[in-house]
Every structure is written in structure tokens, then in C-alpha cells.
Amino acid sequence: MLDAAMQAQLKTYLGNLREGVELVATLDDSEKSRQTRQLIEQIAGLHDLVTARFDGTDARKPSFVIRRASDAEKWVRFAGLPMGHEFTSLVLALLWAGGHPPKVDADLIEQVRALEGDFHFEMFFSLSCHNCPDVVQALTLMALENPRIHATLIEGGTFQEEVERRDIMAVPATFLNGEPFYNGKMELAEILGKLDKNADAKAAEKLAAKAPFEVLVVGGGPAGAAAAVYTARKGFRTGIAAERFGGQLMDTLGIENLPGTPYTEGPKLTDRLKKHVGEYEIDLMDLARAVELRAAKDVGGYHEVVMANGATLKARSLILSTGARWRNLGVPGEAEYRNKGVAYCPHCDGPLFKGKRIAVIGGGNSGVEAAIDLAGIVGHVTLIEFDTKLRADEVLQRKLRSMPNVEIITNGQTTEVLGNGTRVNGLVVKNRANGDERRIDLEGVFVQIGLVPNTEWLRETGLELSKFGEIVIDDHGATSIPGIYAAGDCTTVPHKQIVVAMGEGAKAGLGAFDFLIRNEPAEEIAKAA
């Protein structure tokens, strides 16, 4: 099951075990169960502190429990094989069960341990989903730290019948005590925020206690990370307030156009950026969403940013790098059938549509790449492009046209997503040349039509925005308000690319540096007078 390299890697990790770990499997005579037995036997053979049993009685087969030998009440269960993107999750589950301390904020650990009540989580993942590991790992940690929290993590491809029965059409899909809890990526702090009624107040109190920053970066994508590194290197007290560190980068899988890096993946690049930020005295405030901007009255004074939890952060200079999100179609049925056949991440949700008919809307690079990837999984792909021709790179177009189960529609406008009340069963496409409408029967719709800047919260601030909602900046990254800079996909800079965002972040950081050295703090000016 594990090749020699993976076994060697795992053996090294298992050297960090401090106490015994038990693996208890429930198997049948299926091929997946045979593979699961092989995996468990390999793991147990790598370290004396790991033991394996095959007398489990769980309803799902194959499945196995990872539990602490000294405390059988603390366990996590995997149903199916946690390979692919989930191999790291498996490794962490073994280490945490074996007493190796998780690299998680101590306050969050204590919050997990203090939760009152019984919580039985079921979470469905796919092996190609790059958003799922965060949820898998968060629930794993919670289950191994609090005996009243149980987590069963289910590989949807192995339990396709259950996926169909529970109408799961997007992952990660999380259920709590048998009821839908959340569909989508969640960090540990977000889960705790939903379970702990006092979480928001605690977070607000912690943020409100922060001293004013010289530079506050709002947003933690490539632009925000670059900006923070540049200002911190100049010696300025720098903070990052990010709703989700990594931003859109976390939803990007294959990256092949970053100079010097032939290939990487969004989550991996995010981890490297986070590590780089951590090498400087940068105050990273994750899961902090800005909702209001109060610009300084005087040049050099403090700008204020109000967060969703009520806390207010102050800074002499701001760098806005709030990024962008996937654009919605805005047609009838889209919102109604979101996560019920309407999806936005082909890598995460594609495996749930194995053998089915789907449509990809959008003929740019993202849309064509999605169609290519999905064509290898689903039964048939219909690509719909609004323009008269595809806009993707020629190499991608050639690949797409070579695939036998793909239909390409250009000059087509999607006017409605159809469904039976519970899931998608078709869509309506209008021929823009003659106005004729056509119904396409299908089971899934993947929307890939570009981005919308995350700037709604800035509309009433006096900050100049373009007609598309982008922050207007000059060639130094400066906005229309002195001391406020902006960078990345939320701005008017052309070409929404990772490498461009990084460069723009660096430029905005240098712009903020120039502003700060040329303008004394307003309070010091007042004292001098």
C-alpha cells in the first residue's frame, strides 16, 4: 500500500511517538478492505508502540479507529483509505494519538478541552480535495483532545451509496449528531466558533488588546504576505488581519507559472508563505474579517479597521489586500442548488460526479483546465463560453478538443439552473447569435467565470473604487486616501495572477514604508506645536 519512500517517511515521523497507539479495523472481503489491512499492517510494523487489531464492529467497512492505548475514549475513525491529500492527516492522527503535541495555539487546545456536551461528527472528504485536510485535521485533533467529541472521517468514493443517499454533492461536508453542520472548508477556530457561544467575545477581547500598528495588512493572500514581509524587514511593527490566510490561493491546485517554481500547489505555497511570515515579528491574526474602515482625519494619524467580532485595530498605514472570490452566474437556480450540483471547485467536488454528466461554465484558463480535469472523471463534459471563442491558452484548448467526452459551446449564455427541488438535473443555454434556447440534462454545474473583488465593505469609506468594485491605485500602490495602500486581486492592477499579486504586495509595502518615513505621527506633530 505504502511504497518504500512513504514507509521510510512514516517511520521517521513515528519516532516522535511518546505512548502506545492502537489501530482497530473493521473489514470485509472487498478489495478496499484488503488494501486497508495492508496499510494498517504496514503502519504497525514500523514502530513497536503501534499495535493493530482486526476485530472492529463498525457499520462502515472498511474503517479503522486510531486511539490512544492509555485512554480508549479518545479516538478518531477513518472510513475508507486516507491517502492522497489525506496522507498527512493520517500521519498527524497517529502522532497526536501517540502523545506528540500538536502545533496549535494553546488557547485553542484549552477551548477544545473545555467544550461541554456530546459531539458526534461525520465528515465526508475526497482524496483529490485540497480543502478537506484542514477539516479532517481539525476534527481529528478535537476528538483526540476531548473524549466527548467523536469524529468519523469518510472517504466519499468508497461509500458512494451513502453519499448518494445523503445528497452530498460537495466536499468537505460535515455533519454533527446526524444533522448537516457545514459544507466547505473550516479551520479549527471556525469550528470552535460555531460550538462555543463565547468564542467571538474571546476573539474580540484578544484583538482589542492589540497595540496600534505602524502597518496593518488587511488580507493574507500572496499580496498581503509579500507586503507584510517587506514592511517588517524595514523594522515597522506589522500586523496581518486575514479572514483566511492564503485566501484564493488555498483553492488553487496546480501552479505551473510561478518563476523558479516549475510546479507547486496552492495549499503548499500557502504553508511556505506562512512560514516565511513567521520568520519576522509579524502579528498574524487569522480568521479576522474586516467589516468597516475609518480613515484617519489627519495625515499620519491612526486609521481604524473594525472587525466582524466588534474589535477595532489601529494603524498609521494600511495595506488592503482582501483579494477576490469566484464570480456567481446570477441566474435562477444557482443559489438554490449551490452544493446540490452547483459547484465552484472541480478538484474538491469532481470525484462526487464520477460517471455523470456535468457542465463547466467559463472558457478561460480556469474553465478549460477544470473541463480537462473533470473529463477524466465524469461521463460527459459540456463547456459553455459566453464569448464567440475560448479565451484559454492554446495548449489547453488543444488538449480539451482532443478529449472524446467533451462538447464545447461558444457564444452561449446560461440563463437558468434546473433541478428537482433537491439536486440539479439540467440547465438552460441560450444561443446568443439567434436567441434559441436549449435544455441540457446533467447532474452538475461547475462555475468558472472569473473573480469579484472583496471590497463591499469599502463602498461608503470615501475610498475610490472602479465600476467593477476594484480599489483604484497609482503606480506606487497608493489609494485615494493618504496612508492607505492596496495590492493584489482587489485592485485595478491588470492580470490577476499569483506572481503579479506578490509583486504588487511588495510595491505596496515599499509605498507604505515611504509614507511612514515622510510623515510623522499626527500625535507627535500636535505635541511639537
pLDDT for residue 479: 98
Q: Which residues of 86-125 are buried (b: 16+ CB within 10 A; e: fewer)?
A: bbebbbbbbbbbbbbebebeeebbebbeebeeebebbbbb
- pLDDT-derived band at 528 (thresholds 50, 70, 90) equals very low
Please determine whether the domains at 201-325+452-528 and 342-449 fall in the same fold group of CATH: yes
Mean pLDDT, residues 449-454 = 92
Each residue of 315-371: pLDDT tens digit? Answer: 999 999 999 998 999 999 999 999 899 998 888 888 889 999 999 999 999 899 999
Number of C-beta neighbours around residue 412 at 10 A? 23
Q: Among the options 129, 132, 348, 490, which is catalytic? A: 348
Q: What is the CATH number of domain 4-197?
A: 3.40.30.80
Q: Is 345 a catalytic residue?
A: yes
> How many angstroms separate the CA atoms of 220 and 501, rounded?
11
Q: Is 349 a catalytic residue?
A: yes
> How many angstroms separate the CA atoms of 426 and 429, rounded?
10
CA 288 to chain centre: 15
DSSP H helical ranges for 340-392: 346-349, 365-375
Q: Among the options 129, 132, 134, 349, which is catalytic? A: 349
Q: Is 29 a catalytic residue?
A: no
Residue spans of the domains in the chain: they are 4-197, 201-325+452-528, 342-449
Class of domain 201-325+452-528: alpha beta
Of 249-258, 385-394, 429-438, 466-475, minimum mean pLDDT range: 249-258
Q: Which residues contact 475 (CB under 8 A, 6 or more apart)?
A: none
pLDDT surpassing 70 at residue 395: yes
pLDDT for residue 69: 94
Residue 231 grid cell? 514592511
pLDDT for residue 51: 97
Q: Which residues contact 47 (CB under 8 A, 6 or more apart)?
A: 11, 14, 15, 17
Class of domain 342-449: alpha beta
Q: To 10 degrees, the CA torsion angle through 199, 203, 204, 209? A: 150
Q: Among the options 345, 373, 489, 490, which is catalytic? A: 345
